[in-house]
Amino acid sequence: MNDFLPSELQALRATAQAVVEEAILPEADRIDQECLWPATGLQALARAGLCGLTVPSRLGGHGQGLLGLAALTEVLGQACASTAMCYGMHCVATAVIAAKATPFHDDKYLRPIAAGRHLTTLALSEGGSGAYFFLPQASLLRQGERFIVEGTKQFVTNGSHADSYVVSTAACEEPVGGDFSCLVVDAGTRGLHWGEPWRGFGMRGNASRALRLEQVSVPLQHLLGREGDQAWYVFEVVTPFFLTAMAGTYLGVARAALECAVQYLKSRRYAHSGQAASEVEVLQYRVGQLWASVEKSRLLLHHAALLGDTGSPDALPAILACKADAATTAVTVANEAMTLCGGSGYRDHGLLSRLLRDARAGHVMAPTTDMLTVWTGRTVLGLPLV
């Protein structure tokens, strides 16, 4: 792995790796088989001080941006994609809270998050608008000193396990300024109703559940940002942090699949010839191709993250492309690894099966691969995103 990351980030990555070995890897298969939310891994990440990754340093966090998120989600994703996604969504929601936090948000959310005592997550997408996650229909109505939120979110990672939910809404009768407003809703608030537990094709531990908000009453200070600047949140904060967390996760999945194939080819030896599978030239060629695609995806992701962190005007197409690219790489590498590992990789219903199923979520999670690729093209052509 490249080591041109800043030394502070290398240290955080080493801490994450230690947590992976102690608490995440041992649970990864069971999380997948039993659809378990990864409580042990997330608690270990909190104890190691990593849950405040995107909290500003002045509040006790690590003050990391996109590059830090990319590096850590890759390490976690290689071990357990469900854990990486749960952690990633927490870090993204934290960044959304931190972007324009008031002293109230600092004390109620960001300091406890930095101390590992508070888990948050994103509740954006809805059945009605689907992949168009930036067009919520959940409504926000101002009533005196409170907001009333009403609507249904169709997939909420960390659903029913988080301490708070960053919920997107659109203003209804009495407009509050924009057509996309995020606010933080605390777990336990009256009117939150959870749908069926998640039993997906992959990402089986991410506890992504539907959430119905029925006349949920929230104090005004839970609104994030000022009235009228909410579209800024979608494209300046939610999208770059979310895409980076997802790209890191799928890159980790791709690396794990490549590692499976390499280990298998090195250990497989034929009785009739004494030759190892790793000595077969066409297999060497295929491993070479897969390695190059994983490295290219990492370089694009880190390049995009660096451009984003430094506020470069060229960041947008790279950030849009990196998640679509990582999802494609993960699906391709996991699929090819299944072929390279022969009948035993297919038969055992083990790690490769999990990796292939987890990788497939990459294309359907909004912004989806197709949408991101179109948006990348529009950006390069100088057209507005949507």
- Of 71, 301, 337, 361, the one binding ligand FAD (CB under 6 A) is 361
- Of 37, 109, 133, 233, the one binding ligand FAD (CB under 6 A) is 133
Between 109 and 375, name the residue whose CB sits nearer to ligand FAD.
375
What end-to-end distance do the CA atoms of the chain give, in Å?
36
What is the 8-class DSSP label of residue 269? B
Q: Per CB under 6 A, does 123 bind ligand FAD?
A: yes
Q: Per CB under 6 A, does 89 bind ligand FAD?
A: yes
- Of 125, 164, 230, 293, the one binding ligand FAD (CB under 6 A) is 125
Of 384, 276, 259, 227, whose CA–CA distance to 334 is shortest? Answer: 259
Stretch of 128-136, 290-298, 306-314, 341-349 lying at the interface with ligand FAD (CB under 6 A):
128-136
Phi-psi region of 130 (alpha: psi -120 to 50; beta: other; left: phi over 0): left
Q: Per CB under 6 A, does 35 bind ligand FAD?
A: no
Residue nearest to ligand FAD (CB): 130
The alpha carbons of the chain give a radius of gyration, in whole angstroms, of 21
The structure tokens 């409580």 sit at 39
The b/e string for 86-101 (b: 16+ C-beta within 10 A; e otherwise) is bbbbbbbbbbbbbbbb
CB of 194 to ligand FAD, least distance (A): 13
Question: What are the residues whose beta carbons fall under 8 Å from the beta carbon of 30, sequence distance 6 or more?
Answer: 36
Helix (H) or strand (E) holding 234: none
Q: Per CB under 6 A, does 374 bind ligand FAD?
A: yes
State the burial class of residue 282 (Cβ atoms within 10 Å of its Cβ: 0-12, 13-18, 19+).
exposed
- Supply 167's token pair: 């919920």
Using CB under 6 A as the binding rule, the residues of this chain from 285 to 344 that contact ligand FAD are none
Between 31 and 341, name the residue whose CB sits nearer to ligand FAD.
31
**Contact letters for ligand FAD, residues 237-276 (x by CB under 6 A):** ----------------------------------------
Stretch of 60-68, 117-125, 214-222, 323-331 lying at the interface with ligand FAD (CB under 6 A):
117-125
Strand partners, 152: 212
Phi-psi region of 215 (alpha: psi -120 to 50; beta: other; left: phi over 0): left
State the burial class of residue 335 (Cβ atoms within 10 Å of its Cβ: 0-12, 13-18, 19+).
middle
Stretch of 5-13, 23-31, 312-320, 367-375 lying at the interface with ligand FAD (CB under 6 A):
367-375
Between 126 and 309, name the residue whose CB sits nearer to ligand FAD.
126
Between 38 and 345, name the residue whose CB sits nearer to ligand FAD.
38
Question: What are the residues whose beta carbons fall under 8 Å from the beta carbon of 10, sequence distance 6 or more?
Answer: 3
Between 78 and 125, name the residue whose CB sits nearer to ligand FAD.
125
Tell me phi and psi for residue 217, to 5 degrees: -100, 125
Helix (H) or strand (E) holding 185: strand 181-186
**Amino acid in position 331:** V
CA angle 27, 28, 29 (to 5 degrees): 100
The widest CA-to-CA distance across the chain, in whole angstroms, is 82
Q: Per CB under 6 A, does 157 bind ligand FAD?
A: yes
**Contact letters for ligand FAD, residues 55-84 (x by CB under 6 A):** ------------------------------
Q: Per CB under 6 A, does 206 bind ligand FAD?
A: yes
- Of 155, 180, 241, 250, the one binding ligand FAD (CB under 6 A) is 155
- Supply 60's token pair: 């006790």
- Of 54, 78, 94, 208, the one binding ligand FAD (CB under 6 A) is 208
Stretch of 25-33, 155-163, 172-180, 259-267 lying at the interface with ligand FAD (CB under 6 A):
155-163
CB of 374 to ligand FAD, least distance (A): 5
CB of 317 to ligand FAD, least distance (A): 17
Stretch of 24-32, 72-80, 118-126, 345-353 lying at the interface with ligand FAD (CB under 6 A):
118-126
Question: What are the residues whose beta carbons fall under 8 Å from the beta carbon of 234, sequence distance 6 or more?
Answer: 134, 180
Contacting positions for ligand FAD (CB under 6 A): 89, 121-125, 130-131, 133, 155-157, 200, 203, 206, 208, 361, 364-366, 368, 370-371, 374
